[in-house]
Amino acid sequence: MLFSLLRGQDDGMALVKGGSYTPLYGDKDAGVTVDDFYMDIMPVTHEQYLEFVKAYPRWKRSAVPRLFADEHYLSNWTDDTTPDKAILNSPVNNVSWFAAKAYCECQGKRLPTVDEWEYAAMADENKPDARKDSLFNQRVIRGYETPKSHSRPVGNTPANYWGIKDLHGLVWEWTLDFNSVTLTGEQRQQDNSKSIDLWCGGAAINANDLMNYAAFMRYAMRSSLKARYALTSVGFRCVKDVNKQL
């Protein structure tokens, strides 16, 4: 694992106390246990990512292999080290999963798992699980539908129950196991009803909460991604295990 001394990158994390929750897909009775973890309060910005590519030139736009990032990687920058000043404090986008993973690892952090991200993101300002609140879900969906939200500055939304901002409303965010629900061809050939349920029309039928449209949108988005994709609508933030000192 690579480490760097990038200034201030261990600042601005919030503690998320773990627990058990029911994900959109999976065994509704068993649930999923999430351990305590630290999460970046805000998404990584263009300014922070600029510092990263200067410290690690192999992640500059002109140097990164196409195996690790497609042709859209940092395409909204003028050149290798020049993002527009107007977007410096906006969430970095047009970065691949490989690049986001490397950024986090260079600070001794990592990308959040799907379960960690969903667990933190189900909180509103007052409670750790607001998924049954129709107004909360409507607000999340409105944020996804807002045009050019990726160009807005980070940190202008209220912090949620854990003290984390901008999990909704600016960009979609990479997770460590973003394609964990995507099935392989071999799985689809098996006589496995649970596997079949997770793809095509069965996905909605067997979800644990048919009214959670916001979560459906996130899972659909994740299932469409490949690790080398660099999209305008996708950014990221990092997490750290509690047993690693900040």
Domains of the chain: 13-241 (3.90.1580.10)
Q: How far apart are the C-alpha atoms of 193 and 93, rounded to whole Å? A: 37
Q: Which is nearest to 6 in space by CA: 32, 63, 64, 45?
A: 45
Enumerate helices (H) and strands (E) in the chain, giving the number of each. Answer: 8, 7
Torsion over CA of 182, 184, 188 and 189, rounded to 10 degrees?
-170
Query: Which residue, among 60, 141, 167, has the nearest Cα to 103 in the 3D structure?
Result: 60
pTM for this model (two decimals): 0.82
pLDDT tens, N- to C-terminus, the chain (246 residues): 333 334 334 469 999 999 998 886 655 566 889 999 999 999 999 999 999 999 999 999 999 999 999 999 999 999 999 999 999 999 999 999 999 999 999 999 999 999 999 999 999 999 999 988 888 888 888 877 778 889 999 999 999 999 999 999 999 999 999 887 643 333 333 444 443 333 333 343 444 444 456 666 777 778 788 999 999 999 999 999 998 655
